[in-house]
Amino acid sequence: MPKTVMLSEQAYKALLKEKKKGESFSDVVIRLTTSKTKLSDYFGIWSDIPDAEFQRMLEAMQKGRKGIRARI
């Protein structure tokens, strides 16, 4: 049974941006809220990254977190 949902203009525009040709708004909501993967699917995803590259990425993430904390 169809339902009426009120959206702010901002929410409507965000949903409209995600809408693909031929897709209904219901289809968009279902597509965006249905997870096809489990968190465990990502375990080990970075296992083939060389140690030096992983360390560089880790340092960049930590630096970014410090910047966030400084703004809070």
CB atoms near residue 54 (< 10 Å): 13
Percent of the chain with pLDDT strictly greater than 70: 94
CA distance 25 to 15: 8
pLDDT digits (tens, 9 = 90+) for 13-25: 999 999 999 999 9
> What is the model's pTM?
0.49
Characterize 22-36 residue by residue with b for buried, 16 or more Cβ atoms within 10 angstroms of its Cβ, and e for exposed. eeeeeebeeeeeeee
CA distance 29 to 9: 16
Backbone angles phi, psi at 24, to 5 degrees: -85, 165
